[in-house]
Amino acid sequence: MENISELLSELADYISRHQLPSGAIPWYDEGITDPWDHVECAIALDLTGRFDRAVMAYQWMKNKQNPDGSWYSGYVDDKPKDLTRDTNHSTYIATGVWYHYLVTKDESFLREMWPSVQAAIDFALGLQQPGGEILWACNGGKGTWPGAIYAASTCVWQSVRSALKIAKKLGVRRPEWEIASGRLLDAMRERRECFDKYGEDRQGFATNWYYPVLTGVVHGEEAHKVIVDKWHDFVVEDWGCKCVTGTPWVTVAETSELVMSLYRIGDRDRGSRLMNWMLRLKDHDGGFETGVKLPDQMIWPEEKNTWTSAGVIMAISAWAKVEGLTIEGLHVP
C-alpha cells in the first residue's frame, strides 16, 4: 500500500473542500446533501482528526431537523430538494454522534446533540409496525411508504443501539427503545418476509447481503456463512464488490463497506485483498472514483462523491484496528 497517512490526509481534505460554510457536505460541488451520507462524511472527518469540521456537520443537522425529529432526504444549497423523510437517514445521526464521542471523549457534545438524537429515534420508532419492522419513510405529504427495507432496517437497528449507548452515558433511561430494538432485531432475524414486499432481495443489492454482518444483526459462524454463500455473486476478482448482482458495475463505496464487514468478523485475508484492489481507483485530486463498469473498465459516473472517500477512510480505520496499527492522522475509537 502507498503511504496510508498521506492517503488519509488527501481523502479528508477532499471531503473538507466540499463542505459548505453552513456545515453541509454535498456529494460533489453543487450536488445534493443527504443526511445519511452527510453523517458518513462527518464520521470520516472525525476519524482523520478534523473534529471542528465534524462538529460543523452535526450543527448543520441540528439546524435542519424537522419538528417531528426527521430530516428531508435531500438538500441543495441548504434548501430541501426531496421531501421524503427516511427513517434510516434520520436515525444515522445517533451513530455519528456516538462515534464523535468515542474519538473525542467530549461529553458536552453528547449533551448538546442529545435532543436531536432523541427526536430522530422517536420519529423512526413511531413508524414501527406490530410485526417489529419499521416503515422506510414518510413520503412528503403523501403519507407513509407502505413497507420496510431490510438493509436500511439493519442500519436503523445499529443507530438505535448507538442512541442507547448515548443515553446510558448521559444517565437517561429509554427502556421503550430497548424493547423496540429487540422487536426490530427479531423481525430481521425471524421474519425476513416482512422486508421483501417490493422485492429488494430479488433485485440483488449488495447491501442486503453484507449489511446484516456490518451492523451486527448476524454474527459469528452465521455471519461467515452469509459472506461465503454469496461471495461469487457480488465480488469480481481483482476489482471489488458489485453494487447489484445483475450489473457489471463495481463500486468503491460497496467495496469499502464489504471490507469493514470482513474485518468485523475477522476475515483479514479477504478484507486486505479487497482493499488493495479498491485503492487502485484513487484519482489524482485526492478523491476516489465512484465505480467502474466491467469488462471495458470504464469509469462511471464522472462525479466523485464525498461519501465514497468517507467509505475508504472508514475501511482503512477498520483495517488498522484489526491489525493493531497506529497510523499518523488516524483516530481509531
pLDDT value for 146? 79
**pLDDT tens for residues 27-80?**
999 999 999 999 999 999 999 999 999 999 999 999 999 999 999 999 999 999
| Strand bridging mode 235-236 / 240-241 | antiparallel
Residue 77: domain span: 4-323
Statement: residue 2 has pLDDT above 70: no
In a domain, 150, yes or no: yes
Q: 104 by DSSP, 3-state: which?
A: helix
CATH classification at residue 311:
1.50.10.10
324/240 Cα distance (integer angstroms): 24
Q: Tell me, yes or no, whether 12 lies in a domain.
A: yes
Tens of pLDDT, residues 201-225: 556 899 999 999 999 999 999 999 9
In this structure, is residue 27 part of a structural domain? yes
Residue 147 pLDDT level (bands cut at 50, 70, 90): confident
Residue 331 lies in a domain: no
Write out pLDDT tens, residues 269-284: 999 999 999 998 998 8
Residue 184 lies in a domain: yes
Q: What ranges in the chain are assigned the alpha helix state H?
A: 4-18, 35-47, 51-64, 87-104, 107-125, 150-170, 175-190, 206-215, 220-229, 231-234, 252-264, 268-278, 306-323
Number of domains in the chain: 1
Q: Residue 236's beta-bridge partner residues?
A: 240
pLDDT given for residue 1 in this prediction = 54
**DSSP at 324:** T
In a domain, 330, yes or no: no
pLDDT recorded at residue 102: 98
Residue 310 resides in a domain: yes
Pairing of strands 84-86, 137-139: antiparallel
pLDDT at residue 210 in the model: 97
pLDDT at residue number 75:
98
Spatial CB neighbours of 331, under 8 Å, sequence gap ≥ 6: 46, 47, 48, 49, 103
Range in 91-105, 189-203, 216-230 with the lowest mean pLDDT? 189-203
| pLDDT above 60 (res 309) | yes
**Residue 24 burial (10 A CB sphere; 0-12, 13-18, 19+):** buried
How confident is the model over 147-173, as a mean pLDDT? 97
When mean pLDDT is compared across 134-143, 194-203, 306-315, the lowest value belongs to: 194-203
Residues 83, 72: contact at Cβ < 8 Å?
A: yes
Is residue 70 in some structural domain?
yes
Q: How far apart are CA 312 and CA 318, in angstroms?
A: 10
Q: How far apart are CA 239 and CA 228, in angstroms?
A: 17
Report residue 226 as a C-alpha cell: 452469509
The proportion of the chain whose per-residue pLDDT surpasses 90, expressed as a percent, equals 88
